[in-house]
Amino acid sequence: MAAASVASRVESLASSGIQSIPKEYIRPKEELTSIGDVFDEAKKEEGPQLPTIDLKGMMDSEDKAVRDECRAQLINAAKEWGVMHLINHGIPDDLMESVKKAGEGFFELPIEEKEKYANDQASGKIQGYGSKLANNASGQLEWEDYFFHLVFPEDKRDLSIWPKNPTDYIEATSEYARQLRVLTTKILSVLSLGLGLEEGRLEKEVGGMEELLLQMKINYYPKCPQPELALGVEAHTDVSALTFILHNMVPGLQLFYQDKWVTAKCVPNSIIMHVGDTVEILSNGKYKSILHRGLVNKEKVRISWAVFCEPPKEKIILQPLPEVVSEKDPALFPPRTFAQHIEHKLFRKSQEGKKEEKDALVAK
């Protein structure tokens, strides 16, 4: 079984010496015009830049004015962009480095070794080592392998599928998840205040300490011989409440802002935070879940560690909170469970794919 699946890994494809990529990885024509060299893109100084929010004032200051100013900046970034670099966020640099070293160590193992942790999406076993399966009508694939697992709450984890090698993987990742969960509460508190709600409201609405799930996905983007034709991850918005991202300081993240793709710069010791669809829905669109994608390159492997903070699939109905809805601001989203929201997005995507396929056939 391992041998059969090895061939499907992007890493084995990338290291096979191919000069051109298989057609399943080539993006549709309309996307190709906007894919540039990511290193050139990341150097651009003109145009809008992803905001950097320094949380030091919010975390440390006893001065109310300083705390309020920091909160206001975070709230504005969540409304204007829906994504930001967080610095001085309280998670130690050496812990973040340990998490990154452990994840890099796993991906440096031989593919045969990684295959012991392979997931099986067809049977619903989504945790573990995997590669993207085509889930749209055009059969498009993304230039990435990944490792996906639930990291918090601790009583819901399945440590049997966590990498045993490197030996500090479990310890470093567990501690990072614990500290990230504390940061999640702080961010949700500020976003609640920004909607005129009491501090704990958004946290309660997404499941609280017991039910909010933190799912880590380590994205591994191998070097690509034709990066101008492929994407590491295609354009999407996150379904989560919040997403927190570390990366190995190789640029690749792009945000669709004011009708243009903006490349995020690499900010040392920062965590990138996205507002996800869940918070966008609860806030009735006051906070933005921004469209984003990942570019790949010829020269460097890119790795990112995304932690998605997700509400329970069935227990909570996601809909705009009554306090943010009025005659002037009617509800923009229908009531759905988190599972229904995911289904809705997948259905819409498959319908768009079928339409593209039909249009292509007509064009022939």
Q: Which one of 100, 132, 149, 292 is the catalytic residue?
A: 292
Please say if 292 is a catalytic residue. yes
3-state DSSP call for residue 346?
A: helix
Residue the block writes with tokens 């869940």:
278
Q: Which one of 238, 247, 274, 341 is the catalytic residue?
A: 238
3-state DSSP call for residue 307?
A: strand
DSSP letters for 161-174: GS--SSTTHHHHHH
Query: Which residues does 86 contact at the CB level (< 8 Å), separation at least 6?
Result: 52, 53, 55, 270, 271, 272, 273
Nearest to 240 by CA among 142, 341, 335, 334: 341
Please say if 238 is a catalytic residue. yes
Please say if 341 is a catalytic residue. no
Q: Which one of 114, 217, 286, 341 is the catalytic residue?
A: 217
Alpha helix segments (H runs only) across the chain:
2-6, 10-14, 29-32, 38-43, 56-60, 64-80, 93-108, 111-114, 169-194, 201-205, 208-211, 277-282, 338-363
A 10 A CB-CB count for 31 gives 15
Q: Which one of 101, 223, 236, 349 is the catalytic residue?
A: 236
Rounded to an integer, what is the distance from CA 145 to the centroid of its chain?
14
Q: Which residues are catalytic?
A: 217, 236, 238, 292
